[in-house]
Chains A and B, each alone.
Chain A
């Protein structure tokens, strides 16, 4: 029983991170209807900003203030990066087939990975040890062990989710985002500046990816230029699982995926983990073709 509870905690903390990254995929999908492949690499850049904040720019490690500051820096820098990517790689293709944008997104993803791997202009290919941003300790509840980082992951995820919920549902910009997602042409007719809203969405999504990157690195303190690929793919799955374009769906999808993966491994199926994760996804989509919380879209005739 205690092993099961322990695995449940492990699964939740993994799922929370998937959820954060999945939100970025889903938001971009909501407004632009395409899969932003570069998202997982923005996630990687976020983790590296956190690393440099402590190691090179000498923010205090092991302190709540320093940790939060590093988190804020990563979110700000990645927000800017997201806006830049949108401006130069995606906007020139606005109005074109979303598949062309998909290819530039793949291009941007490859570009970020390869620049990051480059020794002269990037971080170099060797994995780096991620510093402890926050004070660290383990809590023991009976036979269960919870690390402070796992708690931080859950708290930060919940805070960010709440903030996102507020922005999307209770601010003018958020309302505009929803309007744009509903109908871009109509949105621009009622005076919404679509360019600005799309930039804003990218900033928001990328800053969430950065937060995800930092939290991921806190729990798994080894960072490298390709660290985004696998969690990015999983988060993408989570977003689709929950119903792509649907914000609560992405959060639910992330948690479900994290739990499924952890339970598969716990039952001794570690070598089939990814296969089972995808198998579950396929089964769910066969029963609910628009994901767990996605609305079935009626195509207009």
Chain B
């Protein structure tokens, strides 16, 4: 036993030593090559938000492969270097520094969560390396500086869209709001929704909150039921939305629930099931969209990922890489200032998530799509342009 332990210890030490030694050569080989264009990505590949991070990552990966299969950009292949941040605050800053100063990437893609995009933004800004966030919708992200972009719309726009939708389509006067206190995304969306809805003469009859990772919403929903709203706005991610809708129906709530782009995922229907009938949400994209660009993306994504249907994060992850490649082509160089200007000049880029243009605040202006859930399928309702 004793010798076994000692062997174990030395094996472990050897493993540690190997790990420590292993990182040296890779850094040197990475700096030398100039026949590729290096693009970095940081993502939540493990940890709490891995479901979103992985989805977005797979979309980005698909885009890079397509670009390289078509000959790359500026005659060079894209070398795609990605790092995981374990969904932990603090680690994004470290990996983005690694991507910029050790791997010498020309641009950084990421992240889904606004909190972690905010963490990386000052570093990209200080190093003058453009950062494109695929799906952080919090307005603060791009306010960091002129090197920070995003390819999705921002919360104020989506909140306004949903408030107008609730009033005109759902004929709702009294609305309840259930939001996630631990997710900046959810709080932002709830706030902008309320502002517009109240300004339009509506009333918010009940405001309830939960915390990411909660699975039991019956207490909040029971309180909401008592307030008797015409509709319930639930801005959160699909991981919770499916359960919320289900528990609402269990408690005998029959009014429609509606949410934002966080609902967009095939898992929503699997988790929510029949309870979702007659619910609505706004999103960037729908895999049901019959346009050839979307259908081509969906079939390629499915072929690569064992038949998995891409969600909104995957589509935005894909578009973020495509917008970058397009900008590099237009800039004709990877020089950081010129590349920055080229990204900022992105206009009507036809992506999977619709025509993307970047405004003066480096946010994408693009239409929001409203979908309904009917007979267990997502059904297109309307497109609302900014």
- Chain A–chain B contact at Cβ < 8 A: yes
How far is A270 from B211 in the complex, measured between Cα atoms in Å?
A: 8
Contact with A along B1-39 (1 / 0, CB 8 A): 100010000000000000000000000000000000000
Q: Which of B5, B46, B55, B215 has a CB less than 8 Å from the CB of A114?
A: B46
Residues of A within 8 Å of B273, CB to CB, are 129
Contact with B along A140-181 (1 / 0, CB 8 A): 100001010000000000000000000000000000000000
Q: How far is the CB of A181 from chain B (nearest CB, A)?
A: 26
Residues of A within 8 Å of B220, CB to CB, are 265, 270
Check: A222 CB closer than 8 A to any chain B CB: yes
- Are B215 and A220 closer than 8 Å at their CB atoms? yes
- Are A226 and B239 closer than 8 Å at their CB atoms? no
- Are B216 and A125 closer than 8 Å at their CB atoms? no
- Are A14 and B223 closer than 8 Å at their CB atoms? no
Chain B contacts with A in 202-219, Cβ cutoff 8 A: 208-211, 213-216, 218-219
Number of B interface residues in the complex (CB < 8 A): 37
- Are A117 and B46 closer than 8 Å at their CB atoms? yes
How far is A271 from B219 in the complex, measured between Cα atoms in Å?
A: 12
- Are A224 and B216 closer than 8 Å at their CB atoms? no
Number of A interface residues in the complex (CB < 8 A): 41
How far is A265 from B215 in the complex, measured between Cα atoms in Å?
A: 13
Check: A184 CB closer than 8 A to any chain B CB: no
- Are A117 and B219 closer than 8 Å at their CB atoms? no
Check: A273 CB closer than 8 A to any chain B CB: yes
Check: A191 CB closer than 8 A to any chain B CB: no
Which of A3-11, A65-73, A193-201 lines the interface with chain B?
A: A3-11
A-B contact count (CB 8 A): 103
- Are A222 and B271 closer than 8 Å at their CB atoms? yes
Contact with A along B224-246 (1 / 0, CB 8 A): 00100000000000110011001
**With A220-B216, A265-B219 known to touch, is A3 a contact of B226 (CB < 8 Å)?**
yes
Name which residue of chain B comes closest to A9, CB basis: B218
- Are A129 and B271 closer than 8 Å at their CB atoms? yes
Chain B contacts with A in 56-104, Cβ cutoff 8 A: none
- The DSSP consensus for interface residues of chain A is helix
Check: B251 CB closer than 8 A to any chain A CB: yes
Q: How far is the CB of A55 from chain B (nearest CB, A)?
A: 10
Q: How far is the CB of B84 from chain A (nearest CB, A)?
A: 11
Check: B201 CB closer than 8 A to any chain A CB: no
How far is A145 from B1 in the complex, measured between Cα atoms in Å?
A: 59
Name which residue of chain A comes closest to B311, CB basis: A126
Residues of B within 8 Å of A124, CB to CB, are 54
Check: A290 CB closer than 8 A to any chain B CB: no
| Residue among B47, B219, B220, B238 with max Cβ neighbours from chain A (10 Å) | B219
Residues of A within 8 Å of B46, CB to CB, are 114, 117, 125
- Are A126 and B208 closer than 8 Å at their CB atoms? no
Contact with B along A117-141 (1 / 0, CB 8 A): 1010000111111000000001010
**With A125-B51, A127-B267, A129-B270 known to touch, is A262 a contact of B219 (CB < 8 Å)?**
yes
How far is A176 from B268 in the complex, measured between Cα atoms in Å?
A: 49
Check: B374 CB closer than 8 A to any chain A CB: no
How far is A147 from B221 in the complex, measured between Cα atoms in Å?
A: 15
Besides A6-B218, A224-B51, A230-B215, 13 more A-B contacts (Cβ < 8 Å) are: A10-B219, A125-B53, A126-B51, A127-B239, A145-B252, A216-B215, A219-B216, A221-B243, A222-B267, A226-B48, A227-B215, A270-B220, A274-B211
